[in-house]
Amino acid sequence: MKKLFLTLALLLGTAAGAQQAIVVASTTSTEQSGLFGHLLPAFKQATGIEVKVVAVGTGQAIDTARRGDADALLVHDMAAEEKFVADGFATKRYPVMANDFVLIGPKSDPARVAGKDIVQALRKVSAASAPFVSRGDKSGTHAAELRFWKEAGAATGAGYRECGCGMGPALNIASSSGAYVLADRGTWLSFKNRGDLAVLVQGDPRLFNPYGALVVSPAKHPHVKAAAAQRFVDWLVSPAGQKAIADYKIGGEQLFFPNAGS
């Protein structure tokens, strides 16, 4: 009997421990910028919940959650997030934070794109057939880039190249080949291999880049750890989580700006 009780206690302890770990599908920008390395220890200290991050493009992250292979999402493609809710995979999108996109390119700026207007800049890239690296990976950054090209009404040009890769590798390719590339500011600020690259276009309101968090619905996938995932999202939008986001800086520059409740 004593052995039976010990076995049951061990099994219950294992189950309880398993409930204290969740999977969050998110973007390469949140991972490669170092944000998660800053946030997750604070969240674990506050709740005891361990978070495993699957960092891919936003489109892939949402696909992962649709399959039930993640408990929560933290991504940046509002239209895709709202569709995720409309399709019943989550009950709500929670605004969490924002940063912005910037157009990066060679300091010499051969296509003369420097300024504030991202659409006009892409028209100049097209007209000059300048080298341009696209992530081409269904990420939030890729989706934004495609929107800007569509608004520009211009062909991508002979120098356009899709890498099918994350933000860091795309920046590496641009650095080594002297190409233009659209990047989120957070990853750019944490990027070390800049070479001759510089920020050339910034400040256009169209470059605003909001992030949302969603809890995967147990109605779609009964096995998801919805309660623990909700605690993660609730912490992100709480004063403590919002302060942690605001406090994350590189070289004294803030990477993400909290906007819960916006």
Q: What is the CATH number of the domain that holds 239?
A: 3.40.190.10
The pLDDT, as a whole number, for residue 85 is 98
Q: Does the structure show a pLDDT above 60 at 7?
A: no
Q: Say how many domains are in the chain.
A: 2
Q: Are 9 and 191 in contact (CB under 8 A)?
A: no
The pTM score is 0.84
Q: Which amino acid is at 180?
A: Y
What DSSP assignment string belongs to 86-101?
Answer: HTTS-S--EEEEEEEE
Residue 162 is classified by DSSP as E
Q: Are residues 216 and 184 in the same domain?
A: no
CB contact burial 137-163 (16+ within 10 A = b; e otherwise): bbbbbbbbbeebbeebebebbebbbeb
- Domain span at 44: 21-98+209-258
Q: Are residues 202 and 104 in the same domain?
A: yes
Task: Note whether residue 3 is domain-resident.
Answer: no
Task: Note whether residue 10 is domain-resident.
Answer: no
Q: Are residues 85 and 119 in the same domain?
A: no
For the segment 112-154, what is each residue's pLDDT rounded down to a tens digit?
Answer: 999 999 999 999 999 999 999 999 999 999 999 999 999 999 8
Q: Are 148 and 122 in contact (CB under 8 A)?
A: yes
Task: Note whether residue 9 is domain-resident.
Answer: no
Residue 217 is classified by DSSP as P
What separation in angstroms does the CA of 200 have from each of 49, 108, 113, 122, 214? 41, 10, 7, 12, 33
Q: Are residues 197 and 214 in the same domain?
A: no
Q: Are residues 254 and 180 in the same domain?
A: no
